[in-house]
Structure 1
Amino acid sequence: MKILNILVVLLALSYTTYAQSGKKDTVFLLKEKRETGYHAIFIDKNPRSEFYKKISDFRFSDDESRIYAGYLDYLKGQRLPRFTDRTFPRKWIVIYQYKKKFYAYYPSDFMSHYQVRVTDSTYIDYIGGEGPVANKIKSFSIVDSSTYRFRLVGGLAKDRKLTVHIIDPQKGIAVFEEDVTGWGKRYFLMIVADKVRKIPVIVNYSLAQKELEYDFKEPDYKKLLEMKLPKDSIK
């Protein structure tokens, strides 16, 4: 509880300093004062901002450690091959597009936050509402310098194909293309965790209560993939 209180104070100080800095380039997506307190959604361009810390935290809480152990027990009967590749980044954070630019997002409720970590034996989904989910890496291949493929099996999906398309190597931005048997195909944007401060963060700020998350528009993934692939290969 003490740690939580300290975090709240740090976030409040971070926002107050930023909001009162007088910078004319501060962009607010929403500002509202209510009886319960102040709510704002704004763009923080300061790479030293405190708001990057929590979205980049891959540590397990005690409850998350127990959840993760449960998924490992599920995989215990299956041999977990060692993942030895060193070209594929090991930690990723979900990002979004706003007006065709890339942003990290500090949510009001971290139930909606998503991260990925690859260890020497497992592919871990950090899902806000589910906890850390362990997946067995059945196979991995490097298609080219900007394309990686995984075949995964885990507690939430028995057969999962994942293709990672690196579309901006300098900033570590990729399109994750996921195809799960019975669920269909979906796409989402991710960034290498240690490069997340290279892009601004959109902050959904409210100390009084949890707020609705910002509704980002779906990116045009076809155009994003064209950043790395020949046009005639996109169907």
Structure 2
Amino acid sequence: MKTRLLILLIGLLSAGCLGRRTANDNTDNNVTAALPAADSAVAETAVAPVCDSIPEANPEARNFERHGPFVENDTTFLYQSSVYDPEHDRTSHCRAYIEMNRESESYRLLASCTTPGYNDWNRDSFAQYLELLKEQHPEPLPVYSLQECPRAWIPICSYRGKYYVDMLYWYPIWITESLFVRQMMDGPFPSIIDAFERIDPTHYCFRTTAGYLDIQQVDVYIVDPVRKIAVFAFSGEEPENPRYLGLYAPPETVREMDLIEWDFTESPDGDEIDWDEPDYKALIAGRNSGSVDLQTENKPEE
């Protein structure tokens, strides 16, 4: 009896195993037909390794360039690129994104740079440059009353009609009663103001080299009197044909603007973002101007 039961049990198990796949059973075939082919893009995406394992599977996946604006993880990017170097198994990247957090380190930096000596390194560099300048010009420096001209300026850029501070090139300018100071890579570089003139309420003229070899004059045109946004025109012997033009705003205005921050492994070329090209002539011609009750020529104070 036990032998018969054992034989019967073995027979049932064998039939069950064979019954999972029959000649007329197309279940597995239908499932296979519904899946993409193994070499399709969808299949590759589904099984592709991520992050650091990508170069081993597909090095080309690390090479891309993308221009914005586009949003990823609540961050608006204006530019992204990645280049994979298979010889050294290394990936370099460059990203530019909009920073709106007013408590960020960059905003604190901009708020602090109201004078050339806004940190220890700048303070020491400025002192050395100023000492060298006084050695070259031992006579007393001229002193001017700058009227209502702001003393600190930060360069700004326009992108799709909105002003930003580009933290890649944010070097400030400071104007004192005697000096025109430009932030450079080695620190704040001072130049003597040889003459100052307020042409009208929105036009200030400085006779100075501004740290350039080919510059003799800097004109500051206030094109937005409310926010004090200005066009700086740097010119040589022909003021009507400026060599360099740029938009600037004082720190109190900049604090209300969004920033463009950069994250990169190698220095960007500078053409990654398609900035607006301001019509400087139109801005200067259209600025608000009027009469002002002061002498056209602002003589140095005694």
Alignment of 1:165-184 (within 5 A): 165-181=221-237
Which among 152, 164, 174 is matched to residue 91 of structure 1? 152
1:29 aligned onto 2:78: yes
- Which residue number corresponds to residue 138 of structure 1? 194
Equivalent position amino acid for 1:169 in 2? P
Equivalent position amino acid for 1:198 in 2? E
Normalised by the length of structure 2, the TM-score is 0.57
Q: 1:62 to 1:197 in 2, by over 3 A?
A: same
1:219 aligned onto 2:278: yes
Partners of 1:102 and 1:140 in 2: CA distance:
29
SS of residue matched to 1:162: strand
Task: Report if aligned partners of 1:71, 1:133 keep a CA contact under 8 Å in 2.
Answer: no
Structure 1 gaps, min length 5:
1-19, 231-235
**How many residues align structurally?**
202
Matched-pair identity in %: 25
Runs of 4+ in 1 over 6 A off after TM superposition: none
1:131-150 per-residue CA deviation (whole Å, 9 max, x = no partner) reads: 32222222212222211111
Task: Report if aligned partners of 1:116, 1:123 keep a CA contact under 8 Å in 2.
Answer: yes
- Which residue number corresponds to residue 43 of structure 1? 98
Deviation of 1:71 after TM superposition, in Å, equals 2.8
- Which protein is bigger by CA-based radius of gyration? 2
Partners of 2:210 and 2:220 in 1: CA distance:
18
- Which residue number corresponds to residue 6 of structure 1? none
Equivalent position amino acid for 2:229 in 1? I
- Which residue number corresponds to residue 247 of structure 2? 189
Deviation of 1:227 after TM superposition, in Å, equals 3.6
Higher mean alpha-carbon deviation, 169-178 vs 180-189, is at 180-189
Q: 1:38 to 1:157 in 2, by over 3 A?
A: closer
Deviation of 1:153 after TM superposition, in Å, equals 4.5
Equivalent position amino acid for 1:134 in 2? P
For the aligned residue pairs, the C-alpha RMSD in angstroms reads 3.1
- Which residue number corresponds to residue 107 of structure 2? 52
Q: 1:155 to 1:102 in 2, by over 3 A?
A: closer
SS of residue matched to 1:71: helix
Which among 195, 200, 209 is matched to residue 258 of structure 2? 200
- Which residue number corresponds to residue 13 of structure 1? none
SS of residue matched to 2:132: helix
- Which residue number corresponds to residue 151 of structure 1? 207
Structure 2 gaps, min length 5:
1-70, 84-89, 290-302
Q: 1:50 to 1:203 in 2, by over 3 A?
A: same
Comparing both chains, which one has the higher relative contact order based on Cα–Cα distances under 8 Å and sequence gaps of 6 or more? 1
Normalised by the length of structure 1, the TM-score is 0.71
Equivalent position amino acid for 2:76 in 1? V
Deviation of 1:21 after TM superposition, in Å, equals 10
- Which residue number corresponds to residue 62 of structure 1? 124
